[in-house]
Amino acid sequence: MSDDTPVTTLILPVLIRPILSQLEKQNVAASQTLRAAFTKVEASCPGLTLDIVLGILKQGELTVNMNESILRLQGSVSDTDVEYRLNRSEDAFQELNRKSAALKRILSRIPDEIMDRKTFLETIKEIASAIKKLLDAVNEVNAFIPGSTGKQAVEQRKREFVKYSKKFSNTLKEYFKEGQANSVFVSALYLIHQTNMIITTVKNRCE
């Protein structure tokens, strides 16, 4: 699996960090040490966390669709995950938190609903609405970003998000022709990654 797939960037926040949060209830020091180690390793060698997980699966002779699994697991990630949550108390920032969490939660339902055409079509409508609401929330927050450079950075991130939203829409059209569900999973993961990047960019400019 290549390093430019969205699973590479999402496996740490979606799979590893929730496990470490559970470990924290048993052993705070061990959890924090592992969290710091994984974060440092991933920063210097992107994709290593994925390689570790894939290595474990191979050793256990297990076959898992990582795109589907990570997408489904996104639904169980807490909305209060500090990594992709803004700490500012203003309504605009809290609304962006809510809209980003809502979009990711809806996208995480895709693996369970994609085979039921009627349900999936309703979910697609929800996703389209959630995307619009997220973009509206980004526009509201941009008014609080100090300096033109910061505003430009957020606008650029928004444009990237829109680009991947359009790709997601095109992937859905292809799915209804070809029936390749994995392509939809990958495209949804890219959208989740872009949503996280919006939060990260705003965070870096405002906190």
Residue ranges and CATH numbers for the domains of the chain are 1-64 (1.10.12.70), 66-206 (1.20.120.1950)
Q: Which long-range contacts (CB under 8 A, 24 or more apart) does 19-23 make?
A: 21/78
Please indicate whether residue 108 or residue 46 has the higher confidence score (pLDDT). 108
Residue 54's contacts (CB-CB under 8 Å, 6 or more residues apart) are 1, 66
**Residue 3: its pLDDT value, please?**
43
* pTM check: above 0.95: no
Six-digit token string for 85: 């949550």
Are 159 and 128 contacting, i.e. CB atoms less than 8 angstroms apart?
A: no
Query: What CA–CA distance (Å, rounded) separates 90 from 205?
Result: 15
Are 192 and 74 contacting, i.e. CB atoms less than 8 angstroms apart?
A: yes
**Residue 79: its pLDDT value, please?**
65
Question: How would residue 137 be classed by pLDDT, with cut points 50, 70 and 90?
Answer: very high
Are 181 and 117 contacting, i.e. CB atoms less than 8 angstroms apart?
A: no
- Closest CA relative to residue 143, chosen from 205, 70, 83, 59: 205
**Ordered alpha helix ranges (H), 45-147:** 48-59, 66-74, 91-107, 110-113, 117-142
Say whether pLDDT at 142 is over 50.
Answer: yes
Say whether pLDDT at 2 is over 50.
Answer: no
DSSP 90: S
Q: What percent of the chain has pLDDT over 70?
A: 95
Mean pLDDT score of the chain, rounded to an integer?
A: 91
Say whether pLDDT at 82 is over 80.
Answer: no
Say whether pLDDT at 93 is over 90.
Answer: yes
Instruction: Quote the distance between the C-alpha of residue 28 and its chain's center.
Output: 26
